[in-house]
Structure 1
């Protein structure tokens, strides 16, 4: 089991006290051609800009293949496990959606990305249900502009 699952839990109050602060920055994650190809197979999107390096080099302004935007977005899950705290008594967490998700810059094959997480909101909707809103920026190593920015909403349930 990956160590990101073994973090010591914090109290709900400590979690809510983090609102308005940057919680953390994940490690870098490689987005290589193999990862892009595997993702293309899963979602059945084999557009040449993702899976044909020679053609993408010839026919696009990117200069190489680029990751699917949703691949970059999906990497936010592992990034969040690395940095977001676990709240005591949590039985599960689920995605509730996004209020904003914008793909700012393409992620070229061979690039590394990381997530920067700022907790924007953490409020109880019900006694055992917390709505959490996190502002996420996925940075591309060596690039001025991020790959994406998102307001990510999750629901955390307690036993």
Structure 2
């Protein structure tokens, strides 16, 4: 795990892969809870019997936004950022969902520091974030994730 305590330490990784998270299994229980939280109970996510017969995937699939919501959890397995006043999820750019994640699949995050800039004391970081699916060629998604870090002077 990389440990970062300042803008300058972070900047040393610009253009480099920062690492990989652990594999994480997405279960039907998690999919159902996400459906409850987001009010998205489409059968392709929540009805295993119907999905087995009617879905092209032959199983339920995780919501795309569920996979995206795993980003902070998986990101914290790659990097530890200390000496912070505040961290802000600032945006997502050019995100594309590449492949559905079927129930009980395992996913992991690959993060590369695409760019970093100091905005008058605020560090703006753009990560090239890819969510891999174990034993699949295509990722679940790929895109640029933007964080703002306010380091303690």
Residue in 1 that maps onto 2:144 = 151
Task: Name the SS for the 1:156 alignment partner.
Answer: strand
1:103 aligns with 2:97: yes
Instruction: Please state how far the C-alpha of 1:99 moved relative to its aligned partner.
Output: 1.4
Task: Name the SS for the 2:61 alignment partner.
Answer: coil
TM-score (norm 1): 0.91
Q: Matched residue pairs, number? A: 152
Kindly indicate whether the alpha-carbon contact (under 8 Å) linking 1:26 and 1:80 is maintained by their aligned counterparts in 2: yes
Instruction: Please state how far the C-alpha of 1:10 moved relative to its aligned partner.
Output: 3.4
Kindly indicate whether the alpha-carbon contact (under 8 Å) linking 1:20 and 1:119 is maintained by their aligned counterparts in 2: yes
Q: 117-126 or 8-17: which moved more?
A: 8-17
**Post-superposition CA distance 1:54-96 (Å, at most 9, x none):** 101111101100000000001011010111241x531111111
Instruction: Give the aligned CA root-mean-square deviation in angstroms.
Output: 1.5
Instruction: Please state how far the C-alpha of 1:157 moved relative to its aligned partner.
Output: 1.0
Task: Name the SS for the 1:79 alignment partner.
Answer: helix
**Post-superposition CA distance 1:16-40 (Å, at most 9, x none):** 0100000010001110101100110
Matches within 5 A, 1:3-152: 8-86=3-81, 88-127=82-121, 129-152=122-145
Shift in alpha-carbon separation, 1:57–1:140, aligned structure 2, 3 A? same
Q: What is the distance in 1 between the residues matched to 2:133 and 2:94?
A: 19
After TM superposition, the runs of 4+ consecutive aligned structure 1 residues lying more than 6 A away are: none
Any gaps of 5 or more consecutive residues in structure 2? none
Q: What is the distance in 2 between the residues matched to 1:117 and 1:42?
A: 27
Shift in alpha-carbon separation, 1:154–1:8, aligned structure 2, 3 A? closer
Q: 11-20 or 49-58: which moved more?
A: 11-20
Kindly indicate whether the alpha-carbon contact (under 8 Å) linking 1:103 and 1:148 is maintained by their aligned counterparts in 2: yes
Instruction: Please state how far the C-alpha of 1:8 moved relative to its aligned partner.
Output: 4.8
